[in-house]
Amino acid sequence: MKGKKSIYLSITVVCLFLGIIVTVQFKTNQQTQNDLSRQPVEDLVIILKSLNEGRQRLEDELVSLRKQQAEYETVAIDGTQSRDNMEKELQRLKIATGLVGVKGPGVMIEIEESPALQNYDIITVLNELWAAGAEGIAINGERLAINSSLEFREGSRNLWTNNKPIASPYQIIAIGDAQTLETSLKMPGGVSEQLVTLQINLLITIEDELEIPAYKGSYTFEQAHPVEEGANA
């Protein structure tokens, strides 16, 4: 920013000097016309040549400064675009890892309590949604992130995720292409048909906008380390 202001100041100064030279030449020409008979021709030629050379140097400097200004502006634009691209990529990664809440179209699935309902039935529903392209899933308000586990614990009928018990009835929210998500669940022989066969009530609703909270846990990597680019080349 400091360099950019310096360029603008330099251009202003050069333009000012050019204006002064033009004014001097104009006044000199007026004076020369008034007393041309009293000035040696050789002196007038030298003065004119000097003024023209000075003006040419300033015009060349002005061209150079304007070129430098254009280069600074290009760098500034590229820097802004790079920063914008990085921010967009960071936001995309936050969405993928569940670190920010998200909203969008999708489906809401409500599964009622039933003695026939098993925990693996819920897991099957979730896997079907992921396979159909869900971009974010929450079950009973708990966001499923890349390190979320779904597990059974001895002595409990609850399903555990993010180290919290998830009890029925279950409400699953999935954001993505709503039509595709619904179709994947309702396909012949699919999970919806299987649950209905077991007399388990399953309600699937398409919504224009649903909201899923951010993942409340944390990520810890003890054994995994990034591979440096070109390390395997």
Length of the chain: 233
- Interatomic CA distance for residues 132 and 150, integer angstroms: 19
- Interatomic CA distance for residues 166 and 145, integer angstroms: 15
Q: Which two tokens stand for residue 154?
A: 């001895």
Task: Tell me the per-residue pLDDT of 52-87, one tens digit each, with 9 for 90 and over.
Answer: 665 677 667 667 766 777 777 777 776 777 777 778
Q: Is the pLDDT of residue 22 over 50?
A: no
Indicate the helix (H) or strand (E) that contains 96. helix 41-97
CA distances from 94 to 34, 70, 83, 136 (A): 79, 36, 16, 11
Q: Is the pLDDT of residue 29 over 50?
A: no
Of 19-23, 123-127, 182-186, minimum mean pLDDT range? 19-23
Q: What share of the chain is helix, strand, coil (3-state, %, to 5)?
A: 55, 20, 30
Q: Is the pLDDT of residue 94 over 60?
A: yes
% residues pLDDT > 90 (the chain):
30
What letter does residue 100 receive in the DSSP assignment?
S
Q: With contact defined as beta carbons under 8 Å apart, do 59 and 18 qualify?
A: yes
Q: Which two tokens stand for residue 159?
A: 């399903």
